[in-house]
Amino acid sequence: MASKYLSTAKKLQTACNKLFGVKLLLHQRQWYSEKRDGAINQYILYQSINSEKGKEVNVELFRTCSQIQLVLFLRDFWYELNHWEIPHDNAEWEDVKRAYAEKNSGNTGKTVN
């Protein structure tokens, strides 16, 4: 069962891949933890780049067990691709989302939550 955070991460990955031609790959590992008495999920984000020999090589960008950290990393990556300044606190991030929703509300009819 995918969570809303993993769904958001996949949407950001797809947007980066389609709009900027970046080849991001999201891998997941899972193992059992005796300490937590359950499965642990790890998320690894790779970027596929062409090597000097013409072959594609996967370079690890980020590794975490937190879906929230994965989403925040991809959000910052998205901002870097757009050459935007990364918001430094939640209030700024809310202002950015509100401005985006107002700007695009007439174009698509969709708002950002």
- Calculate the CA 78 to chain-centre distance: 8
Q: From first to last of its 113 residues, what are the pLDDT tens digits of the chain?
A: 468 999 999 999 999 999 999 999 999 999 999 998 999 999 999 999 988 888 899 999 999 999 989 998 999 999 999 999 887 777 766 776 777 678 766 544 433 33
- 3-state SS, one letter per residue, for the chain: CCCHHHHHHHHHHHHHHHHHCCCEEEEEEEEEECCCCEEEEEEEEEEEEECCCCCEEEEEEEEECCHHHHHHHHHHHHHHHCCCCCCCCHHHHHHHHHHHHHHHHHHHCCCCC
Structure tokens at 31: 């193992």
- According to the model, what pLDDT value does residue 110 have? 39
Is residue 97 within 8 A of residue 112, CB to CB? The reply is: yes
Point out which residues pair with 47 in neighbouring strands. 24, 59
Domain limits, the chain: 4-82
**Nearest one of 54, 52, 75, 74 to 62, comparing CA atoms:** 74
Q: In this structure, which topology does domain 4-82 adopt according to CATH?
A: Nuclear Transport Factor 2; Chain: A, (3.10.450)
Distance CA 88, CA 91 (A): 9
Full-prediction pTM beyond 0.75? no
